[in-house]
Chains A and B, each alone.
Chain A
Amino acid sequence: MRYRISHTTTYDYARPVDLASHMLHLLPRDVPGQSVMSAALEAEPLPGRMNLADDHFGNHVSWMFLDRRHDRFSVTLKAEVDVFFQPPPPVDETLPWEDVAAVALAGGPGAWQAAEFLFDSPMLPAEPAAGAYAVVSFPPGRPVLEGLLDLNARIRKEFSFKPGVTNVQTTVAKVLSQRAGVCQDFTHLMIAGLRAIGLPARYVSGYLRTRPPPGQPARRGADQSHAWVGAWMGPAHGWVDLDPTNNLVVKDEHVVLAYGRDYSDISPVRGVILGGGRHNVSVGVDLEAVE
């Protein structure tokens, strides 16, 4: 499946900004099951300096530095991406979840990179309540994928999708107690729960197709930046991507931007400005299937 992406972020400032530095995780990366055919960023006004590099997680990062006065900054990603993620293995072929946890913690060949996603991260300090919620899906000896699918489904069923009741800084404990939130909240909750029981889990940022496939219900979290969970099934089967907001196994409706431990590692647009007063952010995302 090929998608055409357009993602514009615009900052409107009440007062002029003298100096601005932005770090963007906006260029999609090649991953197994995804090839980036073309991708480009356009910024307005044109930054005085730009830089590109890959970060520690292998994501493409762009830096933009503006040292002329401006009242508005906007950056647009235009890209074309082919996706077709392999379906996960049959659940019975995956390891018991306790074995996955043990292999990950030991690290070494085959496991050391996954092990990074076992530990606390800036926005996800240890949250025992999340572990208590998650462990219900993981009775002793259960194949890890079976547990993951169960947890993915429970979050979709037991939490309501309500934009506006949370913000970027909302804690997992809060989401758990109010049983509502948006994609980022469900993703953080699921990651925190998996880590609490010793399973590596990572944050995936990206997009969900704007219109569902014919005959399918409308998806939640389309029309904006989306987020979901990458969970590790052991050295043999690697990672599986699960979207708890829609109870989907990621197949051909999602496009991956970046992987991180949590949102703070890969927020799409992050910056520091001097001046500016109040500002408004507007974001427009469009992900269309190309025939």
Chain B
Amino acid sequence: MVDGKGGLRPQWRGLIGTFAALGGGGLAERGARLRRAFEEEGVTSMLPGPSTTDHIWRCDPVPLPILASDFADIEAGLIQRARLLEAILADLYGRQSLLADGTLPPSLVYDNPGFQRACCGMPQDSGLHFYAADLVRGPDGAWRVLADRTAGAGGIGFARENRRMLSRVLPELTRPMQLRHLRPFFDFWQDSLHKLAHNPALSATRSGGPAVALLTPGTSSPQWFEHMFLARELSCALVEGGDLTVRGGVLYLKTLRGLQQVDVLVRRSEGRLIDPLELDQRSHIGVPGLMDAARSGAVKIANDPGAAAAEAPALAAFLPNLCNRLLDERLMMQSVPTLWLGEARARAMVQQDPNRWLIRPATDGNAHAMTPAEMLPADREVLMRKIEQRPWDWAASAIIPPSVAPCLQGERLEPLPVVLRVFLVQDQGEWRAMQGGLARVVEPGQLAGSLPMGGLSKDVWVLNEERSDVIGPAPLPAPVLRIRRTSGDLPSRVADNLFWLGRHVERMERSGRLIRAAVSRLARGATLAPREVVELQSVARCLVEAGCISPDFVRVESSGAGLAEALIATTRDTGALMQQFANISRLTESVRDRLTGDMYATFTQTLRSAREDALNAGRSLDGLSHAMVSIQRYTNAVAGVAAESMVRGGGWIFLDLGRRMERAHAVTSEIAIAINQTPPRIETGLRLALELCDSAITYRTRYMNVLQPAPVLDLVLADQGNPRGLAFQLVAIHSLLDELSEPGPREMFAGVAAGLVAEVEALVEGVLAAKDQALAASDLPPMLEGIANTIGDLSDRITRRYFALLPVARSVGTGEADDSEDTEQLQGVA
């Protein structure tokens, strides 16, 4: 912040004025607001559940400003480095002249986990498409590279989020500054990806131009947020290995409409994991044959699966020489002084005074650095011995204390050391840097190595010195898009997850309603009336059917104590409700890229508070009842958001279809259980059926207090206007299936739904026409069970048709799995 002469660096002047106007308390308040905004949008952590405080990214309200002229120097230096690393990779995966003439020692390549031999001989026209570098600024004011990132550097999503949130929470800070925008970088990136398609002319003839997909390991990846964010920014499909298949040397995405070709794959999975056939055969997230498709040019993978080889920390020691040799230029952006310990002289320097150095594995850029100065003598001894034994495995970097930047700590600003990550992308030979970056406060031991899972980050501002420098995004010529309405492009896995999310949310709501029905009776105290025991037994059966309690509790004694115990157990760690919460969290996370930020926030916040209420219910029925209200609030929120905010396309169709299927099945089974009574007791069953279907008030307004079987059954089974009744669900299912794009199976499925509507109407008419309605009603349960089975069967068939069985791919011929039994897995099945 301060220059060598004690003066304020110019980039800080504007900022300091604004902070002064806010005052310490004001800034702290904004800091808290910023933190809250991050929590609400789920940037900090993903799943509701045990909070993971050490895995949280926070944004400091104080940005890191860099003058445009300084940033231009950084950019120029990094562009040269990117070109250099690209040339090195092209040589290593091609002629290997750098090895043949001894410019590079063999261990840096052949003992390098990032060096993928399967990539040798691949088309190397642009092996490096994306590049990032970690920079530190030393006491002399010069930026130096601490690590080159060629594999798929994370953090760009956080950088963009930081900017978005900061300008929302501190508008007065961003407004007066001549701040360069981040967005043009993503437009440039997106455009460059389209040009990577090997035959743009051919792929452009398909609707929508070349198809780009971003390959992620999935929700279990710590970078999931980033991948989701990037896919959205780059307007490409977010896919997992299981969504892809290679046929005839071409890469396809499995969608509802069938296989769709993918031209460009933005790789965010580790290179060695993307093809179990040629690379790591233990990988379960790869696509067999992907390397063959890439080799033949049918798909371009960016960055190349072997690009990580250039991340080797020891390479820094050779870059000045390599730059002269390969580019015939002087290296502009220096690395932090680095030695490769395979050289005797370098080794001697480090052995003489180990405390001056950071020790890093020579070829693993993700390993954390070791600092002998901070090690116990015995540990240092062990490390030095390891270096002595295999010196070529090690590199040493000079310890440069990174420059500090003011960060908000409590209500005060404190200077903390920062590392800056800058991101660059190439478009046919032209490299550009994002005009900003991700700065993060370095904790001890985090200087080198992979991005930590969380910490304090800062938005990076590139400040124009003059207004005339402001350059808007260059308009890109985009082809005129055809209007598209259907959503067959939805990957089958996403449709599957939405369908099951719908089912689980409904199942949760049903559990909540049933538990409330039971608790309201149990909480009346003292002993239960015989009628209440009958009702409770029905409710208990419904709860068993819903998987909430075990069948042991169906017999309800007059105290109801056993049932109360079982209900309370549903909120324990292993209880049914907790499992439902876990299922819903997992599914919500897996479809997160289909939800807007607000929708996601609504879903997760209400889910989180429902879960907390359930956990806090303790052993009281009151607490349980309160938690059930919370659950209701959650399921209502989902329903509301889905109804009001989701486009009626493929995603919504499957979410709603899941919900309607589940409810149709539940309503039918519950009514069957409720009216499974002898004719004299049928009235009790009918009353319960109305209660469970939330239809008592409607009934009363229609029929006053006269309870008769046919009108009750009409309301809960056949009335197409009752959203809690069966017919409503069947009609909805019918029209949802009708919206799915392809004719054959659609008509068959829709036909089943229509048939069920007719069947239900006939049932109710039969009761109405019967001489003894009570007798006729008490005969219904077996038929209702038959309908429930048909609904279950329809659900299975839809799952099979639209979500495709995904058997697990297995390796053969390598001895690993030759004897194992095939396990066919259905995704998403609860």
Contacts and interface: CB of A to CB of B under 8 A. Distances in A.
Contact of A277 (B342, B392, B809, B821): B821
A63 B292 contact: yes
A109 B277 contact: no
Interface in B97-132: 99-102, 104-107, 110-111, 117-118, 120-121
Contact of B813 (A57, A108, A269): A269
B330 interface: no
A105 interface: yes
Interface stretch (A17-25, A81-89, A91-99, A151-159): A17-25
A227 B815 CA distance: 16
A112 B108 CA distance: 12
B807 A18 contact: yes
Interface stretch (B241-249, B458-466, B757-765, B792-800): B241-249
B104 to A, nearest CB: 8
Given A267-B813, A270-B811, A270-B812, A275 B822 contact: yes
A1 interface: no
A100 B177 CA distance: 64
Interface in A66-123: 67, 104-109, 111-112, 115-116, 118-120
A127 interface: no
Interface residues of B, number: 46
A247 interface: no
Contacts of B281: 264, 270, 272
Contacts of A118: 106-107, 110-111
B814 A168 contact: yes
A65 B99 contact: no
A133 interface: no
A272 B107 CA distance: 31
Contacts of B69: none
Contacts of A44: none
B818 interface: yes
B809 A272 contact: yes
Nearest to B819: A278
A48 to B, nearest CB: 6
Contacts of B821: 277-278
Interface string B114-154: 00011011000000000000000000000000000000000
Interface string B232-248: 00000000000001111
B589 to A, nearest CB: 27
A105 to B, nearest CB: 7
B813 to A, nearest CB: 4
B102 A65 contact: no
A87 B463 CA distance: 72
Given A120-B111, A277-B821, A65 B246 contact: yes
B17 to A, nearest CB: 58
B664 to A, nearest CB: 33
B268 interface: no
A169 B822 contact: no
B805 to A, nearest CB: 9
Given A51-B292, A264-B814, A107 B99 contact: yes
Given A272-B288, A272-B811, A107 B111 contact: no
A234 interface: no
A105 B246 contact: no
Contacts, number: 141
B194 interface: no
A272 B278 CA distance: 10
Nearest to B812: A271
Contact of B100 (A23, A109, A265, A270): A109
B382 to A, nearest CB: 15
B807 A275 contact: yes
B70 interface: no
A15 interface: yes
Give the interface SS of chain B, mostly helix, strand, loop or mixed.
loop
A42 interface: no
B728 to A, nearest CB: 40
B117 A55 contact: yes
Interface string A26-44: 0000000000000000000
Contacts of B807: 18, 274-275
Interface in B251-303: 276-278, 281, 288-289, 292, 295-296
A53 B99 CA distance: 23
Given A21-B277, A65-B289, A279-B818, A273 B810 contact: yes
Interface string A246-268: 00000000000000000011011
A11 interface: yes
A275 B106 CA distance: 42
A119 B106 CA distance: 10
Contacts of B278: 23
A276 B121 CA distance: 33
Contacts of A111: 106
A281 interface: yes
Nearest to A65: B289
A49 B117 contact: no
A106 B104 CA distance: 10
A160 interface: no
Contacts of A22: 277, 813
A21 B815 CA distance: 16
A95 B807 CA distance: 55
A67 B248 contact: yes
Contacts of B277: 21-23, 63, 270-272
B334 interface: no
A271 B813 CA distance: 6
B96 interface: yes
Contacts of A112: 96, 99-100, 102, 106
Nearest to B96: A112
A273 B292 contact: no
Contacts of A167: 815
Contacts of B822: 14-15, 275-278
Contact of A55 (B120, B249, B813, B819): B120
B414 interface: no
Nearest to A24: B813
B172 interface: no
Contact of A11 (B245, B812, B816): B812
B678 to A, nearest CB: 50
B276 A272 contact: yes
B752 to A, nearest CB: 27
A65 B249 contact: yes
A106 B120 contact: no
B247 A106 contact: no
Given A15-B822, A51-B296, A270 B102 contact: no
A276 B807 CA distance: 10
B132 to A, nearest CB: 28
A275 to B, nearest CB: 5
Contacts of A53: 121, 295
Name the 10 nearest CB pairs between A and B, nearest first. A108-B102, A168-B815, A115-B106, A107-B106, A272-B288, A119-B111, A56-B117, A56-B120, A21-B288, A277-B822
Interface of A: 9, 11, 14-15, 18-19, 21-23, 48-49, 51, 53-57, 63, 65, 67, 104-109, 111-112, 115-116, 118-120, 167-169, 264-265, 267-279, 281
Given A105-B107, A105-B342, A112-B96, 13 more contacts: A48-B248, A55-B117, A55-B121, A63-B289, A107-B104, A108-B99, A112-B100, A112-B102, A119-B107, A270-B814, A275-B807, A275-B824, A276-B822
Interface of B: 96, 99-102, 104-107, 110-111, 117-118, 120-121, 245-249, 276-278, 281, 288-289, 292, 295-296, 342, 392, 807-816, 818-819, 821-822, 824
29 contacts: A14-B822, A18-B807, A21-B246, A21-B277, A21-B288, A22-B277, A49-B248, A49-B249, A51-B296, A55-B118, A56-B121, A65-B248, A105-B107, A106-B102, A107-B106, A108-B102, A109-B101, A109-B102, A115-B99, A116-B106, A119-B107, A168-B814, A169-B816, A267-B813, A269-B812, A270-B814, A274-B809, A276-B822, A281-B818
